[in-house]
Amino acid sequence: MLPGLLAAASWADPVEEGDTLTLRATVAPGMLVGGVLSTITIRDGLVTEILQEPIAASRPDPTPLELTPAMRQAVNEALADSLPMTLAYVDGEGVPHMSPRGSIHVHGDRELAIWVRDPEGGFLKALETHPAVALWYRNPAKRTNYQFAGRAHVVNDDATTRAVYDATPERERNVDPRARGRAVVVELDRIEGAGPEGRVLMERTA
């Protein structure tokens, strides 16, 4: 990653202090990192140490929220890739909960859906008073992570319920072959993270 970054970077003037020389390289906004800070130690005319540290990327300006093709693929293939997404919610007593959910999938340009196998579970009860949820996708091998935040509600009409069930990964449907669970749709308000398109920050505008 560093050679490619350094080739496209803008370099500040070197800073010399004692035995060290510091070089700061910054890259264009939208990259996964903001640049590289290199510290070179020189003693008796010889380079004795070179340290390279990534500079944190600046936060991108928000853009209108709409799931990109890369996000859609990541979410829909998460379970097949053995990377089930994590769901976070707060119950009626204010206690936070987190759990992996293999049934999460894309439901629209600005919505995710979850098939909840246990209709009597704590998650559905929590939505009665705390609809705000967060969902997290992470793929370390591809340096990709997305944090989704939104408002979840239980689906009450049969057509949408069936659509969510049918779009759920087969492995999850096989555990609930009679579709006794409930469908939940999450209306997304915010997406933040990084992927093939670089850093992203999306917010719902209407």
pLDDT at position 195 over 80: yes
What's the chain's average pLDDT?
A: 91
97 pLDDT tier (thresholds 50, 70, 90): very high
Burial call 24-43: b when 16+ CB within 10 Å, e when fewer = bbbbeeebebbbbbbbbeee
What are the residues facing 148 on neighbouring strands? Answer: 135, 191
pLDDT at position 4 over 80: no
35-76: per-residue pLDDT in tens? 888 999 999 889 999 998 888 777 788 999 999 999 999 999
pTM, full prediction: 0.79
- What per-residue confidence (pLDDT) applies to 5? 59
Measured between alpha carbons, how far is 117 from 76 in angstroms, rounded to an integer?
18
